[in-house]
A and B are shown apart, each in its own frame.
Chain A
Amino acid sequence: MYQKNLDGKYLKIVISPSFDNIEKICQDAEDFSCKNGFNNILFEIQLGIREILTNAIRHGCKSDVNKQIEFKMERNKGFVHISSKDGGDGFDWQKEQKKNSADLLENGRGMKILKTYFDRIQYNESGNEITITKKINDN
């Protein structure tokens, strides 16, 4: 499933949890970034999208194809807000944030990447929704 709703400065996509859909969302996010004038930070934007959606698929939906993920991207003045809400039971983001993964572990870098490349990271209480925010040049 891949249901897209684009309205100027607001993009909403509902997907079934698959890594193929991350690729499609990254393409739509590229188009959205170009149209809204912040494609100069496209690498950071796509990297953030990949990390939050990978978490939603692996930890939130546990790759259950019957679950859904709601992705949103919005430009609001000088910021871009990107969020992902999954149909899972919730993820302990606070515990994950405190992790300090060793350099040579094969996983556990998603949160560090988000903290490095984004200005703000917010979660809902149940842990199944994350919003990442990045400052952009407001043209």
Chain B
Amino acid sequence: MIEVTKDGDKTIIIPSKNIVAVDADDMKSAVKIVLDKEPDAVAMDMKNVSMIDSMGIGVLIAIHNTLKKRGLSLELFNMTDNINHLLRTMRLHQHLILK
């Protein structure tokens, strides 16, 4: 479901598949285990993600909201143009760090 690596103090979450309805709950549970370890910074490498739907966006928001309580933001990178456009259309660039 997800792979987790470190880059210095930053924890990088790498979803292995699309973030869509069928996997949204499992994805959220897997990420929660990572966030419960209270990392100093969190980024998500979207290299394996070619589709995200409204439930998937909900997963990203849930992660962000957890991090926000700790004064952190979720950073996303390696997004396709389609996903980058979708997230910006949903105004997430005002809250998440989209690279």
Binding site for B on A (CB under 8 A): 19-20, 22-23, 43, 46-47, 50-51, 54, 57, 103-110, 112-113, 116
Contact = CB atoms under 8 A, between A and B. Distances in A.
Contacts of B90: 103, 109, 112-113
B95 interface: yes
Given A43-B82, A104-B61, A104-B65, A20 B22 contact: yes
Interface of B: 20-22, 51, 53-55, 57-59, 61-62, 64-65, 82, 86, 89-92, 94-95
18 contacts: A19-B20, A19-B22, A22-B22, A46-B51, A51-B54, A54-B54, A54-B55, A103-B90, A103-B91, A104-B61, A104-B64, A105-B61, A107-B58, A109-B54, A110-B54, A113-B53, A113-B54, A116-B89
A110 B95 CA distance: 19
Given A43-B82, A47-B86, A104-B95, A23 B22 contact: yes
Contacts, number: 58
Given A103-B91, A104-B64, A51 B58 contact: no
A43 B21 contact: no
Contact of B58 (A19, A22, A46, A106): A106
